[in-house]
Amino acid sequence: MISRTALDYREDSSPLFEAIRDLGSPVWLDSGRPLSPYGRFDIITAAPDFLVRFNRGNLQLTRNGTSETLPGSPFDALRQLLAKHPAPEPQDDLPFCGGLIGHLGYDLGRALEQLPALAGDDIAFPEMRMGFYSWAIIVDHHQARAELIAHPSCEAQQLQAVLQRLQRLQRPAKATTTPEFKLRAGFNNDLPPEQYNQALARIDDYIKDGDCYQVNFTQRFSSTFEGDPWRAYQMLRQAAPTPYSAYLESDDGAVLSLSPEQFLSTDQRQVTTKPIKGTRPRGDNKETDAQLKQALRESQKDRAENLMIVDLMRNDLSKVCALGSVKVPRLFAVESYANVHHLVTTVTGTLAQEQQPLDLLEHCFPGGSITGAPKIRAMEIIDELEPQRRNIYCGSIGYISLCGRMDTSITIRTLLCEQDRIFCWAGGGIVADSITEQEYEETYNKVNNLLKTLEATC
C-alpha cells in the first residue's frame, strides 16, 4: 500500500524542491505552473535507493555507496531491477508511486543501433542516469493538492526525515546563501554560418538522392558560468514556462529543461505520444500573433513535415502496441508558448499484452520528431554533419512508475551545466523545400528567450 501524507498546497513548487535538494540527486519534474496552462503534476524527489548510470559503454549500479558493473544493455538492466520491486495497486489520482526517474541522452541510441562515431564527443555527461526513488512529493495543480507519497520499500526513518524538512517550510524563510548564477560571456554559436549552410546543402543532396526525406539538424550554443545552476533554472522557468520542464542535479552536472514536448506516456496500457513539428515565433501584438498562428495552421510545408514524423511514430508504436490500436485522434493542433507557436499531433495506441512501458521506450528511442525519417539513416546523417554529439539534447527525461504509468519528454529547449561550462541546443526538421535562411532564423526563435535570459546576467 502506498502511504500518503497531505502537505500544504502552493502554486509554485520551488520551495518544496529547495527543502529536499541537498539530500542528493534531486529531481523536479516541473509542470511549469503557475505560468504554463498545460501542465498538471509536479514530481519532486531526491536520495534514490540506487542509481543506474550508462556512460560510453560502461553500465554501473550504485547502491549504498558501492558500485558494480552490470552486464547486458541499459534497458535490460532497468527491466531486471524494476522487476525486483513489488508493484502496488495503481492510484487513479497519482502519476507516480515509486520507481525510476532520470534522463536518457540522445546518444543512448548508440547502445540500440550501429551508428558511426564521426561527431566530436567533448562533454563527459553520461548517456543515461536513472535513479530508483521510493518516495516523492506529488503536487496536483488541477486539484490544488500536495502529498508526500512513499512506496512500501521506503524506510520509515527516511520518510520521517523528509517530512520534517517539509514541515519547516511553515517557518519564516532564512536568507539564501546559495551563489547567484552568472554567465562569464554571451553564448557562442559552435557552428559557424558557412558550415550550417554547407550542412543543409548536403542534407538537400541526400533528400534528392532518396536517402531520406527529413533530417532534424541542430546547432549548439555554449558559454562558461559561475554560481548555482538552480538559480539559472529559476530564471528560465519564469521566461519559458512549459509543461515538460525538469531540473535534475548530480555529481555529473545539472540539466535545465524547458521542454514543451511529450515523448511517450502510458496509463493503464494506453499509450500517447505528441510529436511537435512546425514552429512560428510569437507576434509583438495580438493581431500579428494571430496571423502567425494562422499561417502555421495553414502551412502546407509544416503540415507535410509534421505528417512525416507522425507516420514514423505510428510505425514505432506499432512495434509494441496491439494490432490495429494505433490511432491519430488529433492532427495538426496549434499550441502556443511564451516565445513560439507549435504544430502538435497526438498519436495513441494500446500496449500489447506482453509489452511493458520500458519496452515501448526502448523501441521508440530516440523520438522521431528529433531525428528525421527514416530514423536510422537520418541519425547517420546527423552524426556526419553535426560537429559534436548531442548528449542530453533530443534525449528524454521522465519517470517509469511501479504502478505501470510512464511519462517522458523530448529534451528540446534544454541546457546542460557541466563543471563551469553551459550548453544549449536548437534545431529543426529539414525537408526538400526548406529555405536555409528561414531554418536558421527558426533555430534562434526557439531558444532566443533562454539565451537572452541568461545573457542578462553577464
Of 274, 277, 375, 446, which one is the catalytic site residue?
277
Of 18, 147, 261, 439, which one is the catalytic site residue?
261
Q: Is the bond preceding 126 in cis, omega lying within 30 degrees of 0?
A: no
* DSSP E strand boundaries for 268-365: 270-273, 276-281, 327-336, 340-350
Region of 64 please: left (phi>0), alpha (psi -120 to 50) or beta.
left
Triad 59, 65, 71: Cα angle to 5°: 20
241, three cell numbers = 514556462
Q: What is d(CA 135, CA 132) in angstroms, rounded to the nearest whole number?
A: 9
Q: What are phi and psi of 449, to 5 degrees?
A: -65, -30
Q: Which residue reads 513535415 in cell numbers?
A: 305
Note whether 1 and 152 are within 8 A (CB).
yes
Q: What is d(CA 114, CA 304) in angstroms, rounded to the nearest whole number?
A: 29
In 248-299, alpha helices (H): 286-298
Look up 18 and say whether it is catalytic. no
* DSSP E strand boundaries for 9-143: 27-30, 41-45, 50-55, 58-63, 66-69, 99-104, 128-133, 135-140
* Closest residue by Cα to residue 62 from 72, 48, 52: 52
Cβ-count burial 347-376 (b if 16+ within 10 Å, e if not): bbbbbbeebbbbbbbbbbbbbbbbbbbbbe
DSSP string, 46-73: ---SEEEEEETTEEEEEETTEEEEPPS-
Look up 174 and say whether it is catalytic. no
Positive or negative CA dihedral for 98, 350, 106, 302?
negative
Provide the pairing of β-strand 396-401 with 406-409. Answer: antiparallel
End-to-end CA distance of the chain: 50
Q: Would you tell me the crossing angle of helices 229-239 and 436-455 to the nearest 10 degrees?
A: 120
* Catalytic site positions: 261, 277
